[in-house]
Structures are given as C-alpha cells and as structure tokens.
Amino acid sequence: MSSWKGLLHAYDELLPLTEDTPKLSLNEGNTPLIGLENLSEQWGAEIYVKTEGTNPTGSFKDRGMVMAVAKAKEEGSKAVICASTGNTSASAAAYAARAGLRCIVVIPEGKIALGKLAQAVMYGAEVFEIQGNFDHALEIVRSISEKENITLVNSVNPYRIEGQKTSAFEICDALGDAPDVLSIPVGNAGNITAYWKGFKEYHESKGTALPQMRGFEAEGAAAIVQNRVIDYPETVATAIRIGNPASWSSAVEAAEESNGSIRYVTDDEILNAYQLLAQKEGIFAEPASCASIAGLKKQLESGEIAQGTKVVCVLTGNGLKDPSTAIDTVTVKPTVIPNSEEAFLEKIKGGAAG
Ligand code: F0G
C-alpha cells in the first residue's frame, strides 16, 4: 500500500482525534502478518505472526506513541517523560523529536538492550539510568508527571492504548476475521489491554469474532500468574522484566472475558522459540517477543490449544535491538578463515561452518 501515511491517517475515525490533533506520522502501522509455513506444519496449527518489529523504531510502541505524542502536542505540552525497559524510550524519543518536544526517559541501569539505548540517545532524548528496576522508574515518572507540566507517555496514558489497539484491526482485516487465539507477551500489560479493546471494537462495528487472549509473562517476572508483586524480577527477556504491571487488572479482564489465560514461559523456552523462529522461518524477533511463540508451543504440546487452531502471535520487537542476546544464545559463531579462496572452499565443502 504505497499511499500508507500512518495510523492517524488510516484510522482517523476510530481514534480519539480532533481537528487540532497534529497528523504526526513516521508511517507506523500496516505491519506484515506472516504465515509460519514450517512451524505450522510441524506443530499442527495455523500460525501467523504480526511483525511489529517492522514499525519505524522497531517495536509495537510506535502505534501508541504516535497517538500519545500527538495528543501531548495538541494539549500544548512541551515535554514527554517515560520509564522504560528500552522500547518505549526509543519510540518516545523518536516521536518527540519529530514533534519538536523534549523527551526525558528513565531506564533500569544495565538492563537495556544495546540497540534500544542507541536509539534513545540518537533521537536526542535525555536519558537517565536509575539504580533500580522498571517498576521503580515508573513510580518516579508517574509522580513527576503529576507535579510538573510534563506528559507521561507510558501505557498508563490512555492514548497509548488507543493507538496500540489498531493492530487488532489490521489482523482482522488481513485474515478477514479475528483468529481463534491471540498469543502475546505480557510485561506492563498495556498491549494485551489494547489488543482486547481493538478486537472488541471491531466486533461491535464490523461483526468480527473475538479471539481468546492468551498472554505470556516470563517466569522470573510472572506477577500476574503468581498473583503477587515480584520485587526483583529477572529474565533474559529484558523488555518484560517487570514485577508490578501497571495494567494488571485490565490484562486479567482481557484473559477472563475472552476465555483465554495468562501463563508464564521460562527463559529456556523463550530462547528456544527465539532460535526456532529465526532458523525455521527467517524471522528475527527480540527475546521478549518470542514469549508468544514459546507459549503457543507449550500449549499446543499440552493440548490447552487444540491442533488446527488459527493463532496470531504478536512479535512485539525486532531482533536487531538486542544483538548481545543473539550472539550469546547461538553456539555457532562465525568461522575465521585465512585470506585465501582455496582455504575457504575447503571449509565450505567440509559441511556447515562453525
Ligand atoms: N515486548 C516488547 C518487545 C516490549 O518492549 C514490551 C514492553 C512488551 C513486549 C510488553 O508489553 O508492557 O504492553 O505488556 N516494553 C515496555 C518498554 C515496558 O518500556 O519498552 P506490555
């Protein structure tokens, strides 16, 4: 669709826009829904992935951020602030730059994937590393935004949810209806809330079906599953290293209303899915994203999801954001060769490099 101009153009009637809302855009949205040919056959289900890593800053956050920053600008705000495990800060920084607003981000020290940090600094955000985790950072920025004239652009900002719900619209449009199951990673729980809102709105206005919402937390950060705040969340999937999700109750509501569930997957399951997706399908998504694939695999194996089910897994972020985890995970490293064609040919003929 060459005339695509981003979400505020495409969904102007389905988003809370006014005549004064600036038509901010980095051409976000309209992301590919890709059928997983190999894994569908292997696992016995009809599996698609919504590749949100193809958004302008490489994650689903752009859908919510275009809306939140446009509204901040409309309301006369001069600055936006967020806490982030990385992707929110990258997205906020990009849209704030585009809109000419100041951007302040607070991230947990040492727990941000390298690509995400590179983005925030490149887009010109003022970056602060807190000696604490995401939950602490969110508490601080929430409090500051209540006292100062600075707009909070975490997913507790309702405009974020509005923007992010558009992915559900796109899935229904691409498939001609909702899938049976929507599988999605859960961190702060804004995205599962947004998808459920989107599916319900399309159900009301277009008569599409309602999918079961199946959310997946990381085992070491499974607050909702364990029904308790996790003081020191830990997981390789740093994007969802969150122990006290802000949209906790609406996530539970989405799971209950849709006859779905929220469960956890282990780091090993996440890393296994991460490699399978790349090596069997040619799709590189960041570890947190692969919680949706890991959860699906687990529930197909246990029978919780029946064979033949039509499932969309949300791949929330691009694999390139976190090169260190990729290099650490895969045991096969580039093979060093002498500067000689013959020696190289020898190696190739010997079988797989490495
Ligand atoms: N996947 C990725 C790649 C994320 O960056 C996040 C959240 C999630 C999944 C979970 O989404 O919070 O709506 O349940 N990242 C936030 C951030 C917290 O700061 O970038 P959620």
Q: Report CA-CA distances (Å) from 14 to 9, 157, 190, 259, 320.
A: 10, 17, 19, 26, 32
Q: What is the mean pLDDT of residues 270-287?
A: 98
Contacts 24+ apart (CB under 8 A), 300-303: 300/43, 300/44, 300/45
The percent of residues above 70 in pLDDT, for the chain, comes to: 98
> Mean pLDDT throughout 84-113?
97
β-pairing verdict for 46-51 and 33-35: antiparallel
- Shortest-distance atom of ligand 1 to CA 84: 19
DSSP assignment of 107-175, as one string? Answer: EETT-S-HHHHHHHHHTT-EEEEESS-HHHHHHHHHHHHHHSS-EE-STTSHHHHHHHTHHHHHHHHHH
51 ligand 1 Cβ < 6 A = no
Q: What is the mean pLDDT of the segment spanning 92-104? A: 98
Amino acid making up residue 303: G
Closest CA to 58 of 85, 30, 90: 90
Q: Which two tokens stand for residue 171?
A: 């899935």
Q: What is the pLDDT of residue 353?
A: 46
Query: How remote is the CA of residue 341 from the centroid of ligand 1, in Å?
Result: 46
The interface predicted TM-score of the complex, written ipTM, equals 0.99
d(Cα 107, Cα 314) in Å, to the nearest integer? 24
Q: Compute the distance from residue 137 Cα to the ligand 1 centre, in Å.
A: 14
User: Which has more pLDDT, 81 or 111?
Assistant: 81
pLDDT at residue 314 tops 70: yes
Q: How confident is the model at residue 351 (pLDDT cuts 50, 70, 90)?
A: low
Closest residue by Cα to residue 67 from 211, 183, 194, 240? 194
The count of other CB atoms within 10 Å of the CB of residue 330 is 14
pLDDT tens-digit profile of 187-246?
999 999 999 999 999 999 999 999 999 999 999 999 999 999 999 999 999 999 999 999
Average pLDDT over residues 26-36: 98
Comparing CA positions, the residue from 40, 28, 5 lying closest to residue 308 is 40
pLDDT bracket for residue 91 (50, 70, 90): very high
Query: Which pLDDT belongs to residue 135?
Result: 96
Does position 354 have pLDDT exceeding 50, yes or no? no
How would DSSP label each residue in 310-349? EEEEEE-BBGGG-HHHHHHH-S--PPP--S-HHHHHHHHH
Task: Say if residue 51's pLDDT is above 60.
Answer: yes
- The reply to whether ligand 1 has any atom less than 6 angstroms from the CB of 189 is yes
Residue 2: pLDDT above 70?
Answer: no
Q: What is the pLDDT of residue 331?
A: 81
> pLDDT grade, residue 334 (50/70/90)?
confident
Among residues 46, 51, 35, the alpha carbon closest in space to that of 310 is found at: 46
Atom of ligand 1 nearest to the CA of 164: 13
Distance from Cα 319 to the centre of ligand 1, integer Å: 14
Under the banding of pLDDT at 50, 70 and 90, the label for residue 347 is confident
Cβ contact 179:314 at 8 Å: no
Find the 53 Cα to ligand 1 centroid distance in Å: 12
